[in-house]
Amino acid sequence: MKAETAYAPPVEYAQGWHDIDTSVFRTRRGLDEDIVRAISAQKNEPDWMLQFRLRSLSAFRKKAMPNWGADLSGIDFENLFYYARPQDESVKDWEDVPDSIKRTFDRLGIPEAERKFLAGVGAQYDSEVVYHSLKENLSKQGVIFTDPETAVREHPDLVRKYFGTVIPYLDNKFAALNSAVWSGGSFVYVPKGVRVDIPLQAYFRINSKSFGQFERTLIIADEGSFVHYIEGCTAPVYATESLHSAVVEIIALAGARVRYTTIQNWSNDVYNLVTKRAVAYRDAVVEWVDGNIGAKRTMKYPSVWLMGEGAHGEVLSIAFAGEGQEQDTGAKIVHGASHTSSVVTSKSISKGGGIASYRGLVKVKEGLTDVRSRVVCDALILDERSTSNTYPTMEIESDDVTIEHEARVSRIGEDQLFYLMARGFTEAEASLTIVAGFLDPLVKALPMEYAVELNRLIELEMEGTVG
């Protein structure tokens, strides 16, 4: 990673400010066994977790970088900081969060959001979760919403049973890296039959420069339960790259339903390389709503493994690739049981030389019957410099399968622009209207507050598009 890059931060990135680094502990630059041990020691972890980290570090070193997808040549693993602790303890009372961090989240509207429409909130600042809360009625029903470090201490049985089972540390280079140095994230357990009707939210903020954030999220929805989990992400704009490499594992037991919504708005110097995977058992439903607006490079393909009959998986993917951005996103669906169904809907927009790629896999294992899958990819290209790619892969090993795949690429039509201008819209507003209309069917699937936020972000991205 070069110390200086040619990248000029966009003035319109509203979360691009940063606070003075006041972390109470951080590791030196680079990554080795000592650093992994230091992170583990900071967390007073049991030995089994330390051993897991060390095995993962060794896997990370052996694994090659992906030879496909976005250009990752700018990542210099030796130049990054892998751990920074902003305060001593995670707190449950907002008043106890240190003032500087509190100001950050206040500016991002986090506690305000909690009061308004959330069942629980987690806020992570660099490596650690600084704040966690959950509505009392939910904790009384046995719902657990905490950081994974606390879960390792207080719920070791659940953690040992599920941690790293959906995404093994050997899965890929970045999952191995996360497994070695993970810190923060969320642990959610929803007991049998409990419905969490309003969403839980986690908010991730990177503050330090040249920093790697490696949160780890594990969601276990017990039989017949329901939960909607939302994450938002931002970072300051620096001239050097940061790395965000999360691992998210979801287990939806029989009849459970989990919806996971991401509005990713990292600043345009963050490499966002995330592994997200869910397992859905009998009659379970897992939905990923994945909006990628920010980051320099994103590689993320939320996956659902449909392992029980009657299971259903759904991925809604929205990507916006502007100047200097490469959004390599998509979905993976693995049908591992009969009578399973899946829907993947991808909408991407590229402008100003941005590259938006849909990369997807639908796999149907051998000997299954009554499997249905539908994949629809729509891409909108706003100018001649921008690119859209579609890489759909189908691996179908059974016969009784209905697979539909549609891919459409369109440019904003001159005729559409002219039509709206002939009704008094400026060219800029006409473009924005067409883009917002393109996304409308997906935005409708979001909770209202997030739909508003997403529309606002798209509006910012579209500013200055014309003339």
**CA-CA-CA-CA torsion sign (421, 426, 431, 433):** negative
Report DSSP state, residue 352: T
Q: Of 402 and 426, which CB lies nearer to another protein in the complex structure?
A: 426
Would you call 404 helix, strand, or coil by DSSP?
A: strand
Which residue in the set 385, 413, 456, 464 belongs to the binding site for another protein (CB under 8 A)?
413
Q: Locate tokens 């140095």: which residue? A: 181
Residue 433 C-beta: closest distance to another protein, Å: 6
Structure token digits, residue 292:
């990628």
**Rounded least distance, CB 347 to another protein, Å:** 10
User: Which segments of 44-98 does DSSP mark as H helices, in order?
Assistant: 47-62
Q: Which stretch binds another protein (CB under 8 A): 165-173, 391-399, 431-439, 450-458?
A: 431-439
**Least separation, in Å, of the C-beta of 392 and another protein?**
22
Question: Would you state the torsion angle of the CA atoms of residues 158, 162, 164, 168, taken in this order, to the nearest 10 degrees?
Answer: 160
Q: Is 414 in the site for another protein (CB under 8 A)?
A: yes
Q: Is 452 in the site for another protein (CB under 8 A)?
A: no
With CB under 8 A as the contact rule, the residue among 139, 141, 387, 433 that binds another protein is 433
**Residue 258 or 462 having the CB closest to another protein:** 462
Q: Does 422 bind another protein (CB under 8 A)?
A: yes
As given in the structure block, the two tokens for residue 289 are: 């709503």
- Indicate whether 448 belongs to the interface with another protein (CB under 8 A): no
Q: Which stretch binds another protein (CB under 8 A): 240-248, 266-274, 416-424, 458-466?
A: 416-424
Cβ(337)–Cβ(311) below 8 Å: yes
The stretch near another protein (CB under 8 A) out of 92-100, 221-229, 304-312, 414-422 is 414-422
Choice between 210 and 433, CB closer to another protein: 433
The residue from 389, 398, 416, 465 that contacts another protein (CB under 8 A) is 416
CB of 377 to another protein, least distance (A): 15
Closest CA to 448 of 261, 233, 293: 261
Binding span for another protein by CB under 8 A among 108-116, 209-217, 381-389, 426-434: 426-434
Side-chain-side CA neighbours of 75 within 13 Å: the count stands at 21
Q: Quick one: which of 89, 93, 116, 424 contacts another protein (CB under 8 A)? A: 424
* Contact pick of 385, 437, 448, 452 for another protein (by CB under 8 A): 437
Instruction: Give the nearest distance from C-beta 340 to another protein in angstroms.
Output: 30
Considering just the CA atoms, what is the radius of gyration of the chain in Å?
Answer: 21
Interface region with another protein, contact rule CB under 8 A, candidates 193-201, 269-277, 286-294, 435-443:
435-443
Choosing from 237, 337, 434, 457, the residue that interacts with another protein (CB under 8 A) is 434
Interacting residue with another protein among 72, 438, 453, 461 (CB under 8 A): 438
Among 178-186, 238-246, 330-338, 415-423, the segment contacting another protein (CB under 8 A):
415-423
Taking CB under 8 A as the rule, does residue 418 contact another protein?
yes
The binder of another protein chosen from 436, 445, 460, 466 (CB under 8 A): 436
Q: Is 177 in the site for another protein (CB under 8 A)?
A: no
> Amino acid identity of 207?
N
Task: State in angstroms the smallest separation of the CB of 435 from another protein.
Answer: 9
Interface with another protein (CB under 8 A), residue total 22
Which residue in this structure is represented by tokens 């539908």? 374
Residue whose structure tokens are 């207080």: 154
Rounded to whole angstroms, how far apart are CA atoms 410 and 64? 36
Residue 57: closest CA among 182, 167, 146:
182
Residue 420 binding another protein, by CB under 8 A = yes
CA distance 44 to 453: 38
Query: In the numeric block, which tokens belong to residue 190?
Result: 């929803």
Nearer to another protein, 181 or 462 (CB): 462
Under a CB-based contact definition with an 8 Å cutoff, are residues 339 and 369 in contact? yes
Output the furthest CA–CA distance in the chain (Å, rounded).
Answer: 69
Q: Which two tokens stand for residue 459?
A: 């509006």
Write down the least CB distance from residue 440 to another protein, Å: 3
Q: Comparing C-alpha atoms, which of 429, 420, 423 is closest to residue 467? A: 429
Task: Single out the segment in contact with another protein by CB under 8 A; choices: 43-51, 165-173, 387-395, 420-428.
Answer: 420-428
Q: Is 320 in the site for another protein (CB under 8 A)?
A: no
Among 207, 320, 229, 327, residue whose Cα is nearest residue 273: 327
- Residues 327-349 as b/e (b if ≥16 CB within 10 A, e otherwise) read bbbbbbbbbbbbbbbbbbbbbbb
Q: Which two tokens stand for residue 418?
A: 């002219």
Q: Which residues make up the interface to another protein (CB under 8 A)?
A: 413-416, 418-427, 433-434, 436-441
